[in-house]
Structure 1
Amino acid sequence: MTSPTPAAAPATNRLPAGAMRTAWILIVGGFAAILDSTIVAIAIDTLGREFAVPVATIQWISTGYLLALAVAIPITGWAQQRFGGKRLWIFALALFLLGSVLCATAWDAPSLIAFRVVQGLGGGIMFPLMQSLAVQAVGGRMQGMGKLMAVVTVPIALGPIIGPVIGGVILDSLSWRWLFLVNVPIVLIGIVLAAWKLPDDSARRVKAKFDIVGMLLLAPGLALLLLGLSNVESGDGIARLDVLLPLIAGAALIAAFTFWSLHRRERALVQLRLLGRRTLSSSSIVLALAGAALYGAMLLLPLYWQSLRGETVLTAALLLIPQGVGSLAARPIAGLLLDRIGARALAIIGFALVALGTVPFAFADAGTSNVWLSAVLVIRGLGLGTVLIPIMTVSMTGLGHDDIPQATMITRIAQQLGGAFGTAALAVVLTTLLDSATTPAGAVDAFHAAFWVATGVSVLALLTALVLPRREPA
């Protein structure tokens, strides 16, 4: 049953008591999951050598994690309603902790892949639940939400930046098992804080009926789409059965789920009827493009330094730090500006900075100064640290307490698919041009073209941001 939207509170930037504390508790645990999703990517070659398997096999530690995320996200709204947000959050943390410990004890590639799936199931619940609990803590008030989102989205912005650095340091000095053990103290602290201080919402639990048909349509549909897009990244374009079949099957299942959800309305696993709200539908579209702009370029940047500049994995990761610094610096400012200039203007500024911070790489070559590129990355980081705050805030505007978990699942799915599409598109562009390059200059041109495409995605996202409301209602 959908609860009524709470009456708007008087316009003020002051958040309800305990809302910011809830946000900080959530990001402690959430940071581990987001960090883990990027920290392992840098270790693919090392783990392949460790277990004596080809890259195509060991790549499944990332693909399996991604598919598990897709399966877990759709059940989060129902599970929160059935068991309560606090209990579900602690369960997700415990499941992620179990997966981390199991990964550290893996004895071969299949066992590591299986244990990464356990991690992914925990992470898939945590990502949408983190945002849902934070927004519900505000009690339906949108004024001051920018400050809250500036905190909640910190792990999302920093994970892709800090993860490769930590992974590089671990691989340079420690056993690969520490890639997973590094999560343990973070998650333990998150569990203790959640059990101690996270508000108890057990009184709101409802014995909702589980939408089995919806789960059988949506979860495999998302997984197949992501599998097809992941296979695109391996090269050789999209004209392959392991790409086309999953994409076609996934799209068909998603289409079937769309009809099913619109028919069942409030009883659907994910209530797509909420996309009838302009705030949610417009922000979901922009979030998909934001995911493409963020994760697509994160594929290109490390490869640029390693392939064209001959840098080590660790050095390439360290060279990305300025982007993280810019992202951190932008968040408190963006949180304050949101209530002053509105979501649309702030999102446009953010995407413009992302584009400006990407263009110089479309001209860079093996001799371009790293100092100059570091300065450029600070600008790009400022943009990345800005864009998510207004978009995610808009997506929650005007929603009742029980609609918030549904909205967070929709926006999370949009961002996940957008990131996968963006990464796949840039991978196709880069690999196709690199395969045809016969000289070092040809390789440089391939990267230039890929960075121009990445810039174009940011510009497209900027234009799409024009559909966002100018200001959030009080």
Structure 2
Amino acid sequence: MTEPTAVPAASTTAPARSPWPALWALVIGFFMILVDTTIVSVANPAIKAALDPETNNLDNVVWVTSAYLLAYAVPLLITGRLGDRFGPKRIYLLGLTVFTLASLWCGLSGSLEMLIAARALQGLGAALMTPQTMAVITRTFPPNHRGAAMGLWGATAGVATLVGPLAGGLLVDGLGWEWIFFINIPVGVVAFVLAWMLVPNLPTNPHRFDIPGVILSAVGLFLIVFGLQEGEHYDWGVIWGPITVWGVIITGVAVMGVFIWTQARTKNEPLVPLALFKDRNFGVANIAIAAVGFTVTGMSLPLMFFIQLARGLSPTESALLLIPMAVLSGVLAPFAGKLLDRTDPRFLLVPGLMFVAGSLFWYSSLMNVDTPIWMFLLPSAMMGIGNAGMWGPLATTATRNLPMHQAGAGAGIYNTTRTVGSVIGSAAIAAFMQGRLEANLPGAASAGGDFGSGGTLPDFVLEGFSTAMAQAILLPASALLIGLVAVLFLRRPDTTGATADWHAADAESAR
């Protein structure tokens, strides 16, 4: 990919330093986070067979993903501010260290409970890293070149969707599920050295941290996710004593309402600067990315369980079906980013979201035992084209007009919104899958249908299981339509004025 030259900063003391080497260094860590997520989705059946073989309940192994996402989502608001306060480079390196060591712990886990705890620590490391990547792009690239930078970000996501499942399949089949985590260790070391050498120490800004806001957001998110995740297990009734599933969920929503109220009234610096939402594009992009997070997390479980358990494919063979998506997304994302710098974001986002949603409805229509396996390559290709017009353009649109001193806060909010959508998607898809299984296979557990021990399912449950998974994937497909409606309300940004403001802020920070 040809790298556009960064516009020089408005300073007479020294020539501008190209921001591209730093971005390439940060992308390696971002790539590792994405690969780890996709690797785990492929390995879920193997993890369940190894660490939780005695139950037919799918929501136990889903906590391997949900614990990671919850620990990832809760700190994002403050980790973005930590980057503004102490410098994105320092916080990124700290997060990379935590993530790499937690990967070692994941691989050494001997029980599902230990793996879930290690995945939560991984989530904390990822929360420290992720906002810093977007903040560095916002603070080092002028607005009229951010589309190209986010194009690289989107291409990284596309390549990760290929490398993750393929590497996961090969490692699970050849060495065991533990190696999907061990592989992060050498990658983390290389990423640390490159970031240490290439990422600049950017100016910091003093911030006060809203500790009550952190506590309220953490409690609210935990209650909502726990209620959704465990609802089916408790038959949406009593958990313990007077505590019910719906009581937990409603309490969580109420706590989040109190959190938003305190953010609007606080006299100190709020954890979430609500003034950022006065920019329509920032607000709309956050709605859309929540829907995207829900969809991307929710779609993988029913698809992978169907491909591996109903059709008998190995993890590696399952991953090969994703090649068109990864290749097309990786190739097209940089071009989409460059085009975004010159056009209305809706011209890319509307067709992008439509293609991804359409591919999921297409998958649902194919999820039966009679469909030739090669036909699953077609919706995969359609999804790859859609991804190229979705990830980078949404992130660019959200950060285009962020003030320099709130780059970390804005990145934290955006990534929190995305991850909250992912957490809810993970919890909701587990409950929805379990509900569809109960509806299509009543009494399957007592009849001997084992949905987690690996291998192909018995013939007498194949049709019902396939129907349940086809119905389950319609939930994330429908959620993405919310994002599609939201992006219709975007405005074309004025990059000329934003670029002038960026240069003025850059010149001021150089003094």
Same fold (TM over 0.5): yes
Structure 2 letter corresponding to 1:43: A
State whether residues 149 and 393 of structure 1, in contact with CA within 8 Å, keep that contact through their aligned partners in structure 2.
yes
Describe how 1:203-218 pairs up with structure 2 within 5 A.
203-206=203-206, 208-218=207-217
CA distance in 1, matches of 2:287, 2:335: 24
Q: 1:410 aligns with which of 370, 393, 413?
A: 413
Q: CA deviation at 1:317?
A: 2.3
> 5 Å matches for 1:178-257?
178-201=179-202, 203-206=203-206, 208-231=207-230, 238=236, 241=239, 243-257=245-259
1:177–1:376 CA distance, 2 compared to 1 (3 A): closer
Q: CA deviation at 1:89?
A: 0.9
Closer, same or farther: CA 118–440 of 1 in aligned 2, 3 Å: closer
**Structure 2 unmatched ranges of 5 or more:** 8-16, 442-460, 497-511
Q: Which has the higher contact order (CA 8 A, sep 6+)?
A: 2
Q: What do residues 350-384 of structure 1 show as CA deviations (whole Å, max 9, x unaligned)?
A: 01211332232232232223333202211111101
Deviation, 1:393, is 0.9
Give the Cα–Cα distance (whole angstroms) in 2 for the partners of residues 48 and 14 of structure 1.
48
1:391 aligns with: 394
Aligned match of 2:22: 22
Contact 1:229 1:420 in 2 (8 A): no
Offset of residue 303 of structure 1: 2.4
Contact 2:346 2:488 in 1 (8 A): yes
Structure 1 counterpart of 2:185, which letter? V
Q: 1:38 to 1:223 in 2, by over 3 A?
A: farther
Match of residue 363 from structure 2: 361
Unmatched runs of 5 consecutive residues or more in structure 1: 1-12
Indicate if the aligned counterparts of 1:280 and 1:395 stay in contact, CA closer than 8 A.
yes
Give yes or no for contact 1:97–1:187 (8 Å, CA) kept in 2.
Answer: yes
- CA distance in 1 between counterparts of 2:149 and 2:357 reads 26
Aligned to 2:92: 89
CA distance in 2, matches of 1:163, 1:74: 27
Counterpart residue identity of residue 34, structure 2: I
Asked whether the equivalents of residues 265 and 271 of structure 1 are also in contact (C-alpha less than 8 Å), the reply is no
- Give how far 1:404 is off: 1.4
The structural deviation recorded for 1:98 is 1.8
| Partner SS for 2:341 | helix
Deviation at 1:308, TM superposition (A): 3.4
**Equivalent residue number for residue 327 of structure 1:** 329
Cα 1:288/1:431, change in 2 over 3 Å: same
Q: How does 1:298-313 map to 2 (within 5 A)?
A: 298-313=300-315
Residues 305-344 of structure 1: CA deviation (Å, up to 9, x unaligned): 2243232333222222222122112202211221233211
Confirm or deny: 8 A CA contact 1:343 1:472 kept in the other structure.
no
> What residue identity is the alignment partner of 1:132?
A
Partner of residue 36, structure 1: 36
Amino acid at match of 1:36: D
Name the residue aligned to 1:461: 483
For residue 102 of structure 2, the aligned residue among 99, 103, 109 is 99
Q: 1:251: how far off?
A: 1.6
Per-residue CA deviation, residues 179-198 of structure 1 (Å, 9 max, x unaligned), is 22100111111111111110
Q: For residue 254 of structure 1, report the CA deviation from its aligned partner.
A: 1.4
Question: Retained in 2: the 8 A contact 1:296–1:422?
Answer: yes
How many angstroms apart in 2 are the aligned matches of 1:164 and 1:419? 18
Q: In 2 relative to 1, CA 44–370 (structure 1 residues): closer, same or farther, beyond 3 Å? A: closer
Counterpart residue type for residue 331 of structure 1: A
- State the distance in 1 between where 2:81 and 2:172 align: 39
Q: Give, as a single letter, the amino acid of the residue that structure 1 aligns with 2:190.
A: I
Are the counterparts in 1 of residues 225 and 427 from structure 2 also a CA contact under 8 Å?
A: no
Indicate the residue corresponding to 2:150 in structure 1. Answer: 149
Distance 1:455 1:177 in 2: 31
- Greater CA radius of gyration, 1 or 2? 2
Question: What is the CA distance between 1:23 and its match in structure 2?
Answer: 1.6
Give the 3 Å change call, closer, same or farther, for CA 223–297 of structure 1 in structure 2. Answer: same
Could you tell me the TM-score, scaled by structure 2's length? 0.81
Contact 1:329/1:382 (8 A) holds in 2: no
8 A contact 2:205–2:405 mirrored in 1: no
Q: Could you tell me which of 295, 302, 315 is aligned with 1:293?
A: 295
Contact 2:161 2:322 in 1 (8 A): no
Please identify, of 29-38 and 49-58, the stretch whose mean Cα deviation from structure 2 is larger: 49-58
1:258-277 aligned at under 5 Å gives the runs: 258-264=260-266, 267-277=269-279
Q: For 1:86 and 1:346, how far apart are their aligned partners in 2?
A: 32
RMSD value over aligned CA atoms?
A: 2.7
Q: Secondary structure at the match of 1:204?
A: coil
Q: Deviations over 1:273-300 (max 9, x none)?
A: 3222212111111111122232222223
**How far apart are the structure 1 equivalents of 2:289 and 2:490?**
11
Secondary structure of 1:267's aligned partner: coil
Q: How many residues align structurally?
A: 458
Q: Which residue of 1 aligns with 2:280?
A: 278
Q: 3-state DSSP class of the match of 1:268?
A: coil
Q: Percent identity?
A: 28
For the residues of structure 1 that align with 2:425 and 2:64, how far apart are their CA atoms?
20
Q: Residue 79 of structure 1: which of 75, 78, 82 is its match?
A: 82
